[in-house]
Amino acid sequence: MDFTDAMMAFLTNASDPAVYALLLMVYTLLNVIFLPVPVEAALFIGNMSPLLKALLVGTGKAIGSIIVLKIGASIGDVMNSRMMQWGIAKSIVNFCNWMVARFHYLGLYIILSIPFMVDTVPVYIFSIFNEQGFMETGPFAVVNFLAGINRVLIVLLIFALFGIKIGA
């Protein structure tokens, strides 16, 4: 059983709403930093208000994004300089730099609002390829927070259209 399965099993059995809330936020934070699974998996368990789940997911994403932004800033220069030596890698780096410079926070918001998408990759791309410093910590965290809430609300709406209720 890997970490994700263990966390989901624990969340499923968490009967205390405070424990579930804390675990949902930590799961979301870890999801942004290194877990390559969509955060929506945790929405289907736990008897809690869907809006509270949305706020917890948004908070976890905001905290995780601050950590990722710091990691990305520390490895971005090294990664850029090493990858710029190879043909295809150089093209990828240039595209990522262009994407971050062109779309800034709006691009990040749109990407992170897509339900069932893995957050780790886009958050790292926007943090590592922040060459000109377009992404600042405060707005970066706010965008992640709002996109996390937006994403949960989109999932709730889609499931509500099919008559499926998530949470309390």
Written as one string, the DSSP assignment of 28-83 is: HHHHHHT--S-GGGGGGSSSS-HHHHHHHHHHHHHHHHHHHHHHHHHHHHHHHHHH
At residue 30, the pLDDT reads 92
At residue 13, the pLDDT reads 59
Pick the range with the lowest mean pLDDT from 37-46, 124-133, 144-153: 124-133
Structurally, how many domains does the chain consist of? 1
* Statement: residue 11 has pLDDT above 70: no
Residue 85 lies in a domain: yes
Residue 166 lies in a domain: no
Distance CA 132, CA 83 (A): 17
pLDDT band per the 50, 70, 90 thresholds, residue 116 = confident
Q: Round the average pLDDT of the chain to a whole number and report it.
A: 81
Domain that holds residue 90: 3-161
At residue 16, the pLDDT reads 76
Residue 168 lies in a domain: no
Distance CA 156, CA 10 (A): 23
Distance CA 129, CA 73 (A): 8
Give per-residue pLDDT as tens, 58-97.
999 999 999 998 888 777 666 656 655 666 766 766 776 7
Give per-residue pLDDT as tens, 93-115.
677 677 777 878 888 888 889 88
- A 10 A CB-CB count for 55 gives 17
Percent of the chain at pLDDT > 70 equals 77
